[in-house]
Structure 1
Amino acid sequence: MPSLLLVMFILQLSLHIINTVGASTITDLLWILYNKLPTPTSSSSQRARKLRAEIIRLKRELSKVSPQDDFARWAKLDREHKKATDEYQKIDASLKTHQTTFQSTISTLRWLGTQGLRFLLQMWFAKQPMFWLPAGWVPYYVEWILSFPRAPLGSVSINVWGIACASMIALVGEALAATWVLVTHKPVPTKGDPMAYEATTENRTAGEKGTPREEKARQGLKKEL
């Protein structure tokens, strides 16, 4: 049986991934995977993809044929296009009905497997210590907070352990995101950076005018000389 500490950590990590990636994105990916497996909707999904490609092909051919110059071919392509469109709309409507049911089922299972399981564990193991702290390691009020709500004094409760896991996972996620940005993106020079100052100096030497106050001071300096 896996450790309760590990179970809570995996639950918090799963919740963080779902919140970061997005529940709808995960559900859409699962729907695509579901249609690739030998399921009741797999054949309909494949047929819909073929019909969609066929509709696009017929539409392109229709745009190249003039009904005045070649009416027979245009009429044949138009009939094929309408037939494929009608069949695609029927299959697509059926798939959307199945997709709505699939999304509802996945949402329920996702909640039961994450939030529901977490609440159940927190209630069931509320009095069980996750681990014990060394005697006298922290003050009494800290021991009381760490054992909240019903764990033995001097231990860490499952609620506090879950909060600690969620906080640590969020910090690590932000650190990884910041590292990724620093590695893949170069910092843009600001106005006070040396690069910005050098660019400004080069523009001035190239003959660009400064502000009106600078031009006035420059003309006064020339008169004095």
Structure 2
Amino acid sequence: MPSLLLVMFVLQTVLHIINTVGASTINELLWVLYNKLPTPTSSSAQRVQILKREIVRLKRELAATSPQDNFSGWAKLDRQHNKATAEYQKLDASLRTHQTTFTSTVSTLRWLGTQGARFLLQMYFAKSPMFWVPAGWVPYYVEWILSFPRAPLGSVSINVWGIACASMLALVSEAVAASYVLATKKAVPVGEKKGEPMAFEAQPKGGAGKGAAREKEL
């Protein structure tokens, strides 16, 4: 039986990864992996990729073929292009319907395995101490906070332990990101965030620069 401390830490780690990477990105990755396996949609997904490349090739050949000089060849390419496009649109619509169902199922399972599991653990083990704080180490009000909401006084509750794990993971991820920036020397440009003005050094232009030069001479 794994330790409850470790279980909560793993749950918080998984939640941190999901929040950092993004649920939509994870869903897309799982969908791609799902289609790589021998599943009901794998053959359709492979056919869609083939048709996509075929449509691009036919578009290039159509653009390179003149309908005035070689109408029969152009018409043949146009029929092939229209046929491939119609098949692609039909398969793509079917795949999107399957993907919507897949994403809904994955999102539900992910919530049950992370947020739902954490909620159940916090409810079921609300009165169970994760570990005990040595007597006299912290004041009474700190002991009360650490045992919130229903753990024995003088212990650390599962809720507080979960918050501590989440805070530590956030600090570690920020430290890793900062270390990466320092190691690669790739600083974030000033004003990259939306709505923030870009920082540029004011450069005199044209007559304004000449006027400033004259004022300095005077």
* TM-score normalised to structure 2 length: 0.86
Equivalent position of 1:201 in the other structure? none
Equivalent position of 2:13 in the other structure? 13
Distance 1:170 1:25 in 2: 20
Deviations 1:135-175 (A, max 9, x none): 11111111111001110111100000000000011011111
Distance 1:95 1:186 in 2: 40
Deviations 1:8-54 (A, max 9, x none): 00111111111111100010000000000100000000001111111
User: Would the alpha carbon gap of residues 130 and 57 (structure 1) be closer, same or farther in structure 2, given more than 3 Å must change?
Assistant: same
Deviations 1:193-224 (A, max 9, x none): xxxxxxxxxxxxxxxx8984x865654xxxxx
Q: Are 2:48 and 1:56 aligned?
A: no
Asked if 1 retains the 8 angstrom alpha-carbon contact of 2:11 and 2:118, the reply is yes
Output aligned runs, 1:142-221, within 5 Å.
142-185=142-185, 212=212, 216=215, 218-219=217-218
Structure number, greater radius of gyration: 1
Deviations 1:55-108 (A, max 9, x none): 111111111111111111111111111111111110000000000001101111
User: Would the alpha carbon gap of residues 211 and 4 (structure 1) be closer, same or farther in structure 2, given more than 3 Å must change?
Assistant: farther
Distance 1:177 1:63 in 2: 47
User: Would the alpha carbon gap of residues 54 and 130 (structure 1) be closer, same or farther in structure 2, given more than 3 Å must change?
Assistant: same
Distance 1:111 1:181 in 2: 33
Distance 1:48 1:107 in 2: 25
Gaps of 5+ in 1: 189-208, 220-225
Amino acid in structure 2 at the alignment position of 1:144: W
Asked if 1 retains the 8 angstrom alpha-carbon contact of 2:181 and 2:187, the reply is no
Distance 2:63 2:139 in 1: 80
User: Would the alpha carbon gap of residues 140 and 43 (structure 1) be closer, same or farther in structure 2, given more than 3 Å must change?
Assistant: same
Amino acid in structure 2 at the alignment position of 1:132: W
| Aligned-partner SS, 1:134 | coil
Amino acid in structure 1 at the alignment position of 2:49: R
Residue identity (%): 76
Deviations 1:103-152 (A, max 9, x none): 10111111111111000000000000000111111111111110011101
- Using the TM superposition, give the Cα deviation of residue 181 of structure 1 relative to its aligned residue in structure 2, in angstroms: 1.0
Equivalent position of 1:206 in the other structure? none
Distance 2:168 2:48 in 1: 45
Gaps of 5+ in 2: 189-208
Distance 1:143 1:56 in 2: 67
Equivalent position of 1:27 in the other structure? 27
- Which stretch of the first structure deviates more once superposed, 132-141 or 99-108? 132-141
Distance 1:95 1:81 in 2: 21
Equivalent position of 1:193 in the other structure? none
Q: RMSD of aligned C-alpha atoms?
A: 1.9
Distance 2:154 2:20 in 1: 34
Amino acid in structure 1 at the alignment position of 2:164: A
- Using the TM superposition, give the Cα deviation of residue 179 of structure 1 relative to its aligned residue in structure 2, in angstroms: 1.1
Distance 1:48 1:115 in 2: 35
- Structure 1 residue ranges, 4+ long, deviating more than 2 angstroms after superposition: 209-212, 214-219
Equivalent position of 1:141 in the other structure? 141
Q: Are 2:149 and 1:129 aligned?
A: no
Distance 1:172 1:164 in 2: 12
How many aligned residue pairs are there?
Answer: 199
